[in-house]
Structure 1
């Protein structure tokens, strides 16, 4: 909390703010550094050894309250109640089109289906979905998303989930049949997609 409120501090400065010794503060900082919650940087300050100043990492920042999910739901409700369902559908459609365009840039059409699924899993992981994929004995490719960073929005408006499924189908192409078999918003532990090659 002290680092959040005051920015980067030395162990001595932190000890002073916490009414403890700089050594006690340094021990706490070392433990937090092992957990990936703080990082130090050397700051030259004239003659003598540089001062180590400690600051929060992104992992630590995420532990503080964040009301973006509540704000997102509120904005969706405002769009729906003030502008109507058609306006909300437009918002979802624009997001879907932008997502499809970005994914098309990253997933080449000529790739084999397996490579497309792997690329899609990588993209989704980078977006915070904690995605992975595997191939079953029968040749079914399974895309698993262990987290949903837009869960609040998707719960408030399931058009987002429909749009994501449509994007997957567009990116994987007509040679793939994509079915959602598990759904976080519907009570599942994760979102799971079964992807099967279309046999002609």
Structure 2
């Protein structure tokens, strides 16, 4: 029978960032010893790394996180093809041609998301629906509400990261998409960005009335 433990550990580290073995064990309902065994195997495979961080008196705390190879484990298998296609479009049709294609993709996304979100519901319900859509699209998305009433939409994985590196317009289109489908009553701001070196992409969403 296949052992899915290591895969689950990778998913937790992707979603949460650096964690101790004890924290990982609590996430996955296993002992710290069990989590540590998985981590040691993943470390040997080059998928995770660790840092011993001292906090006051006592033994240092070992924090585990994904290595570059571990992050690549989540990448889309067709990432190289997407980058090559973008480069080919620019060579063949120039920057204006690429801009037209991105605009057409953006219009399709807006139509699909608007259809899925519908017209009704308050900002909380719409943010949750949007999060569900992004999760379906492979972004490992989650959302949480702040005490001030605003929302945080977090994407722990970007399936188009490689293509976005080759074409920054894709990231701009994602931000515009969120603003379009949430409507004029919401304001969307990107506060973390994977391509900028952050662990995830995160968007703060607030009601314009707030």
Does structure 1 retain, via aligned residues, the 8 Å contact 2:109–2:177?
Answer: yes
Distance 2:192 2:170 in 1: 16
1:67 Cα deviation from its structure 2 partner: 5.2
Matched residues in 2 for 1:66 and 1:131: separation? 16
User: Which of 197, 201, 208 pairs up with 1:187?
Assistant: 197
Aligned residue in 2 for 1:143: 153
In 2, Cα distance between equivalents of 1:178 and 1:122 = 17
| Secondary structure, counterpart of 1:84 in structure 2 | helix
Which residue in the other structure is 1:161 paired with?
171
For residues 198 and 132 of structure 2, the distance between their equivalents in structure 1, rounded to whole angstroms, comes to 22
The total of aligned residue pairs comes to: 144
Gaps of 5+ in 2: 6-72
Structure with bigger gyration radius: 1
Alignment of 1:75-94 (within 5 A): 75-94=85-104
Q: CA deviation at 1:74?
A: 1.0
Q: How well do the aligned residues superpose, as a CA RMSD in angstroms?
A: 2.2
Higher relative contact order (CA 8 A, sep 6+): 2
Superposed counterparts of 1:110-125, under 5 Å: 110-125=120-135
Q: Structure 1, unaligned stretches of length 5 or more?
A: 1-29, 37-62
Using the size of structure 1 for normalisation, the TM-score is 0.67
1:134 paired residue number: 144
Find out whether 1:35 has 2:7 as its counterpart: no
Structure-2-length-normalised TM-score: 0.64
Distance 1:154 1:104 in 2: 23
| Alignment of structure 1 residues 92-111 onto 2, 5 Å | 92-111=102-121
Contact 2:76 2:159 in 1 (8 A): no
